[in-house]
Structure 1
Amino acid sequence: MRLCRITIIRTQLGNNYKARVTIMQIDYKFNDKAIQDSIKRLQQLGADMTPITRGIAAVLASESEAAFQKEADPTTGRKWQPLTPKYAAKLAAKGLTGKMLNISKQLMQLSSISV
């Protein structure tokens, strides 16, 4: 079982202080034993692992990007909770009416990088 963690931290500046605030943390676990076993067999055969690892990374990055586009859990397909009306109105007042968690694309990029 493998644990992956994505943590988004923002630094806030106050009058006389600097604080790091965790905005969001996502933990997910998955069983990769079959994949690891297959990779070990290929390594024992002396295979070039570059195409395989790049292919795996591409699939995982694609799944992550699809989750953001669908605004849903990539495993269950369950939609994310909607924004509260108050928060949605606050974003709309700033002209931010697009998909959730895509204001700066920062979270999506971090998700793709961690794969």
Structure 2
Amino acid sequence: MIEIEVHTDQAQALLANIVATGRNMTPITRALAGVLADIPERAFAGQADPATGAPWAALSPATVARRGSAQPILQVSGILAGSIHSEHGPDFARASTADVKAATHQFGAKKGQYGTTRRGTPIPWGDIPARRFFGIGPADEAEIEEVALESLLRVLAGRG
């Protein structure tokens, strides 16, 4: 008589880990939130669009004259760069900012787009080019994939 015995304890444990991870992806989303927060940090350091790598538009001559310097773009006070924060939960990871000027810098604005002052001066007083600091480029996609895979493997191995 031939007898075959199959022990499924390890497979069942692995499947239980997969099911538990599917219900609460926090170990993975925590790592991904860190990656997402690094993207704008690199954009500020390199003064370039994180999705395309294109350098940000130079400051206008009027802004340079008012400031006394052309560098660093978007970082005179550090408020915008310092306002970037990350969050994560069981089913999400994100990097964001609550800075009211962020959208203008991310997407740009046309002269007068926000109306006028009491004296009739346009807000903004001139065009502001988009200087994107949020976005995902090919290198970021690869890093996200790598971090997600490593995190998932750690979770499945019981070390997550």
TM-score (norm 1): 0.52
Match of 1:59 among 3, 13, 35: 35
1:90 maps to 2:63: no
Q: Which has a greater percent of strand?
A: 1
- Is the Cα contact below 8 Å between 2:59 and 2:70 reproduced in 1? no
Match of 1:46 among 20, 40, 53: 20
Q: Provide the C-alpha distance between the structure 2 equivalents of 1:97 and 1:84, rounded to a whole number of angstroms.
A: 9
Q: Report the CA distance shift for 1:98/1:82 in structure 2 as closer, same or farther (over 3 A).
A: closer
Q: Residue 77 of structure 2 aligns to which amino acid in structure 1? A: S
Q: Residue 40 of structure 2 aligns to which amino acid in structure 1? A: S
| Equivalent residue runs for 1:1-115 within 5 Å | 45-47=19-21, 48-92=24-68, 98-113=71-86, 115=95
Q: Provide the C-alpha distance between the structure 1 equivalents of 2:39 and 2:56, rounded to a whole number of angstroms.
A: 15
- Larger radius of gyration, structure 1 or 2? 2
Query: Alignment partner of 2:72: what SS?
Result: coil
Q: How many residues get paired? A: 70
Listed as ranges, the gaps of 5+ residues in structure 1 are: 1-42
Percent identical across equivalent pairs? 36
Q: Report the CA distance shift for 1:81/1:97 in structure 2 as closer, same or farther (over 3 A).
A: closer
Q: Provide the C-alpha distance between the structure 1 equivalents of 2:71 and 2:57, rounded to a whole number of angstroms.
A: 15
RMSD (Å) for aligned C-alpha atoms: 2.3
- Poorly superposed stretches of 4+, deviation over 3 Å: 111-114
Deviation at 1:97, TM superposition (A): 5.7
TM-score (norm 2): 0.38
Query: Alignment partner of 1:78: what SS?
Result: coil
Q: Report the CA distance shift for 1:112/1:98 in structure 2 as closer, same or farther (over 3 A).
A: farther
Deviation at 1:44, TM superposition (A): 6.5
Q: Provide the C-alpha distance between the structure 1 equivalents of 2:70 and 2:59, rounded to a whole number of angstroms.
A: 11
Greater relative contact order (Cα 8 A, min sep 6): structure 1 or 2?
2
- Is the Cα contact below 8 Å between 1:65 and 1:112 reproduced in 2? no
